[in-house]
Structure 1
Amino acid sequence: MNKVDVFRALHRRRAPDDPLVLPGPWDAASARVFTQTGFPALATPSAGIAHSLGYEDGAVPADEMFAAVARVSRAVDVPVSADLEGGYGLAPKELVERLLETGAVGCNLEDSGGGVLKDPHQHAEWLAEVRHAAGAALLVNARVDVFAYGDGNPERAIERAALYVAAGADCVYPIGAPTGVLPLLRSGIQGPINVHGRLDGGGPIPAELGELGATRVTFGPGLLRWASLALEGMAGELMKRP
């Protein structure tokens, strides 16, 4: 199977306590660490790449983001999905072409811009154009930002998810959804659901998220922040040495 087929297969028939865990590499070195540890696929975080390149989240120029994704894809043999935020204002055909040139086989696309929710019907039409341009070459993860920038109503999230799935999205990502509403979202959304995992011990582990309804778990820039804390500790030890 090619990489996109492998990636699709990883989303299918998963046991409830075994969601697909996708670490978020911010560069080639971190990508190699994750794959050498045994993870079967990766999902680059836009915020993690932004911080690694010296930008604020959401401020990375498209050229630099695609270049960063390409470096990650070249460094590993497993499928890579890329967080492309809101698509950088590119037409669907150009967005897809540029992403495929990086070697990635999946993408995360947000339904908000500047902290404001987009019209769901217009966004669904745009996603349908992305799907048409990509054909079967990409696994599209449609982010639903109702809990991040909307009123947090699970029913609104389910309505948006239905539009995006109908438009051709392979997976939906209700980012920021409280753990308690995951079973409701699972019952109302067709297909795979992406859930944001936490690394600070303050939330369920991936297996528990899977039992609540997650098909896959991502961490945004959390792993970069975790690595930065470890580096900070090592730097502190160096400062203590004569």
Structure 2
Amino acid sequence: MDITFTGKTALVTGAGSGIGEAIALGLAASGANVVVQDLKSEAAERVTAAIAKAGGTAIPAAGDVSDPATVERLVAEAAGWQGGLQLLVNNAGIGGAQAPTGEYPLDGWRRVIDVNLNAVFYGMRFAIPEMLKAGGGAIVNIASILGSVGFANSAAYVAAKHAVVGLTKSAALEYSAKGIRVNAIGPAFIDTPLLSALPPGAKEALVAAHPIGRLGRADEVADLTQYLLSDRASFITGSCHLVDGAYCAQ
């Protein structure tokens, strides 16, 4: 992709595997200085090492993004590393429990909302002031197809992802005139290590749910993320872009 982020710093949460890893690798390959955040320090360090091996610039950052103090620290470190923070990808997320709404575990609900919604708010809450200092920036929040449609037995995940789309639109309205664009991406089911734990037959059922006839790839989400963060998307803000193989067109 003919996009360059030379001189810009990006903070990518949940970048130790899957979609987040692909985004971090892609941004670094396009010249960004990347802060590779993950809950697990060894995962963040592994991706950072891969970026360095490829000739990119990155530092690892471990911590739980559901804790606002941790996110505030991460943003401050990212902004101070290379003299400013211009790019943010709120990607960290968890699947959560599978249960009908009337039986959904309360602790499971709180944890999903904390990681999948509150952490997105914290990221923007602390990154936006730094972006304003830097003269502007761009944010991509990784939502889901389940930010557009329902899915049985996943009340917390669906609620959080719908809320991420709404939060994205509100922030875009507030900051588009101040040089900060905010968009969301709604991936369908992506072929990542998370799916390796599925029971026999479950992965095949997921494939069948996508009219395109396959699951998505992490690099397909990463490519769109790069575009939305770049100046080539300068008139795109406040919207959610599906990467779903026509899942939501059904």
TM-score category (smaller protein): 0.3 to 0.5
- TM-score (ref. length: structure 2): 0.37
- TM-score (ref. length: structure 1): 0.38
Whose RCO is larger (CA < 8 A, sep 6+)? 1
